[in-house]
Amino acid sequence: MTAPHAAAPLGTGEDARHAWLDWLAGERRAARLTVAAYGADLAGFLGFLSRHLGGEANLAALAALRPADFRAWLAQRHADGLTAASRARELAAVRSFFRFLSRRHGVDNPAVRLIATPRATPPAPRALSEPDAAAVAAEIGEAADSAALAARDIALFTLLYGCGLRIAEALSLDVRDAPPPGGSEPLRVLGKGGKERLVPVLPAVRTALAAWLRFHPDRRPEAPLFLGARGGRLNPGVAQKVMRDFRRARLLPEHATPHALRHSFATHLLGAGADLRAIQDLLGHASLSTTQRYTAVDEAALLRVWRAAHPRAE
């Protein structure tokens, strides 16, 4: 067996950077733009270390870096305005560099493996205005090809807005699951992870579902509640197209999707003063932190509720 080629000795962090870039381009055959981007990322990291450590980093200094040093660098990049995605890319470059040093030059620093990858904060949910959401629920059947399809579409989108369901949850319902008109029974919903929850059903939702069931061609309990044109369970893509066509016809915003009705359900409840934990239960969120994203949607409305309810608000 041929002995592995001994790596040339390195003096400074900059020497190591050039050796790493040569390895990326030569042995790993990385694209030219990738090599350039990684080289710039690592140059920025080494420049930070020069300021942070008070001098140019050599191999001994690189091996001695602590988790706090890496976190200080990421904090500085955050202060520079870099997004989480950009910081994650730079951290990936630094990790690759240290793997190279460990494998080719015996310079191992386990601290870099302890640093969590920056994650982007999910954007705040985008809800429809109350008039727009109400218009979707009440009028989306106007362009349907038949009275039956109009009743189906109104029932589906009234259910999405009135109960805050995910589109997959609504389309998985069977005829047996439909709450009877005039009753008070909650809707049993099977959510993510097979977790079941109970959702109260507004009279408007019961009425819309009852109107659709009068057209439903298959009243067996196990039959799908929402049917497609060929009699099978309605496809989510068809529901999304119905919403897309209605959105364009009524000049609604581009974020008006079936899922936006779920966001609207939560946002409008929160704006009316509903308890955040109650909204969590209604939406079926496993974590309250997921539900808390809605507090950023309408902070002004939340402040009005606080002023009206808190005894010391005056």
- Residue type present at position 18: H
Catalytically annotated residue among 17, 87, 166, 206: 166
| Known catalytic residue at 262 | yes
Per the annotation, the verdict on 51 as an active-site residue is no
- Which residue in 77, 104, 259, 263 is the catalytic one? 259
285 is annotated as an active-site residue = yes
Active-site position among 192, 241, 304, 307: 192
Q: Active site includes 294? A: yes
b/e per residue 24-50 (b: at least 16 CB within 10 A):
bbeeeebeeeebeebbebbebbbebbe
Q: Where are the alpha helices (DSSP H) in the chain?
A: 13-26, 32-53, 59-63, 67-79, 84-105, 130-139, 147-163, 167-171, 203-213, 236-249, 258-271, 276-283, 288-291, 299-309
Cα dihedral sign, 260-265-269-272 = positive
Active-site entry in 216, 262, 263, 268: 262
Crossing angle of the two packed helices 147-163 and 130-139, in degrees rounded to 10: 150
Name the one residue in this structure whose structure tokens are 């939340």. 302
Catalytic residues: 166, 192, 259, 262, 285, 294
